[in-house]
Amino acid sequence: MAAADVSTGATREPTPSPLRSAVIVGGNRIPFARTGGAYVKSSNQDMLTAALDGLIARFGLQDERIGEVAAGAVLKHSRDFNLTREAVLGSALSPETPAYDLQQACATGLETVIGLSNKIKLGQIDSAIAGGVDSASDAPIAVSEGLREILLDLNRAKTAVQKLKIIGRIRPKDLAPDAPNTGEPRTGLSMGEHQALTTAQWKIAREAQDELAYNSHRNLAAAYERGFFDDLITPYRGLSRDSNLRADTTLEKLASLKPVFGKSLGSEATMTAGNSTPLTDGASTVLLATEEWADAHGLPKLATVLDGEAAAVDFVHGKDGLLMAPVFAVPRMLARHGLTFEDIDFFEIHEAFAGTVLSTLAAWEDEEFGRTRLGLDGALGKVDRAKLNVNGSSLAAGHPFAATGGRIVASLAKMLHEKGAVDGRPARGLISVCAAGGQGVVALLEAA
């Protein structure tokens, strides 16, 4: 608040606050479990609390009042309106830590990182925990729309006769429950069917998709073997590794699987259970702070959050594929910093489907697409495959929707920290996450 200075007559202005850096201190997640597996009895709140408590233990945050905690879930019970705050209250953090829920489909986790980083950069908070959780095992099931309307009418009815009349409207079909699915409300197509169209449009070969899936499993298994996840994961309910990981899978095994999406394409159907991500349960968290806060707490500074960008595409009218929004977000964000793919050392492209990653790469390598759709002189560029998802991604780890962003951010931050400097500049990493509704969120990190 500005106050008049009586003696000089001058007005005192608020102190200007220059932008600060938002650093990633570290992260913690629970192993991801295939739906119906180890976490079948765990709620979103249970898993998010477990992920938080592991983070608190790793960094000694017991009773700490964190600036703000933001997390979310895609599949959410209506009773979980304050999911994140409830998880904070159930954790070892100070109960005076504020929290809010956020939801942006599969980009939820990454968006919490970007939003909280912005608050830190602006000087609003000094520390934050970003996160996300999802359970497809403990998914909310609603009554049918017909029954819901009848029940609401019943609640409003005053007399017994009115009530009886309303109850009489219930038909057997109204009793069927309404379970959530990955179908797009505006097209009725599932995410997999949408991607099958995109995969076919970009002529992505079955072999290329299987190879990407194979590399995801191989890279993730190797990362576990060398202890990469020792300070990124805390076991939960008897699981200490992602249950979807198949360390012993082979290209032959993947090639033997039958297509599950795009079957209407006939012989062109290429998407199998092996090169698509299964429904998964899990939770992740990321600790963010100013450099000063990290130093004062004797905590590491792995990477800084440089920037973030969201995009959306018109998939409803078929202009672009449902999961292609990151294709547009990345060039916009890189242009802001005058960077090209040459300046990026790690690419973390979320593997919703192998076809998604490969369609994205194909679009970026396409001269015509670059000119007509991205407004560039030609193709955006070619991603060096040796820099792509080097410690595995969602095809191997699984994808509990809102938890994927936190998984990627924490792992990439550690990779950047280990890499340190490249040609005299800090190592850089790019994150790309596609989301339902034709959206995408991307982010740029740099070794701290």
Contact between 186 and 316 (Cβ < 8 Å): yes
State which residue, 46 or 320, has the beta carbon closest to other proteins.
46
Residue 420 makes contact with other proteins by CB under 8 A = no
Residue 228 makes contact with other proteins by CB under 8 A = no
Binding segment for other proteins (CB under 8 A), chosen from 211-219, 228-236, 332-340, 378-386, is: 228-236
Least distance from C-beta 62 to other proteins, angstroms? 4
State which residue, 294 or 402, has the beta carbon closest to other proteins.
294
Q: Which member of 36, 95, 235, 378 binds other proteins (CB under 8 A)?
A: 235
> Per CB under 8 A, which of residues 90..149 are in contact with other proteins?
92
State which residue, 356 or 391, has the beta carbon closest to other proteins.
391
Q: Which member of 56, 114, 313, 434 binds other proteins (CB under 8 A)?
A: 56
Residue 106: active-site member: yes
State which residue, 37 or 146, has the beta carbon closest to other proteins.
37
**How far apart, in whole angstroms, are the C-alpha atoms of residue 70 and residue 72?**
7
Least distance from C-beta 69 to other proteins, angstroms? 16
Residue 291 makes contact with other proteins by CB under 8 A = no
Binding segment for other proteins (CB under 8 A), chosen from 34-42, 101-109, 154-162, 230-238, is: 230-238
Contact between 47 and 135 (Cβ < 8 Å): yes
Q: Which member of 298, 342, 421, 424 binds other proteins (CB under 8 A)?
A: 298
Q: Which member of 59, 315, 328, 364 binds other proteins (CB under 8 A)?
A: 59
The pair of structure tokens assigned to 273 is 């259970």
Q: Which member of 14, 227, 266, 424 binds other proteins (CB under 8 A)?
A: 227
Amino acid present at 43: S
**How far apart, in whole angstroms, are the C-alpha atoms of residue 285 and residue 135?**
15
Residue 377 makes contact with other proteins by CB under 8 A = no
Residue 62 makes contact with other proteins by CB under 8 A = yes
Residue 240 makes contact with other proteins by CB under 8 A = yes
Residue of 106, 217, 350, 417 with catalytic role: 106
Least distance from C-beta 33 to other proteins, angstroms? 14
> Per CB under 8 A, which of residues 64..93 are in contact with other proteins?
92
Count residues near other proteins (CB under 8 A).
24
Least distance from C-beta 63 to other proteins, angstroms? 7
Residue 234 makes contact with other proteins by CB under 8 A = yes
Binding segment for other proteins (CB under 8 A), chosen from 34-42, 48-56, 76-84, 128-136, is: 48-56
Residue of 194, 217, 399, 417 with catalytic role: 399
**How far apart, in whole angstroms, are the C-alpha atoms of residue 321 and residue 413?**
30
Residue 57 makes contact with other proteins by CB under 8 A = yes
Residue 29 makes contact with other proteins by CB under 8 A = no
The residues annotated as belonging to the active site are: 106, 399, 434
Please give the residue ranges that form the binding site for other proteins (CB under 8 A): 50, 53-54, 56-60, 62-63, 92, 227, 229-231, 233-237, 240, 298-300
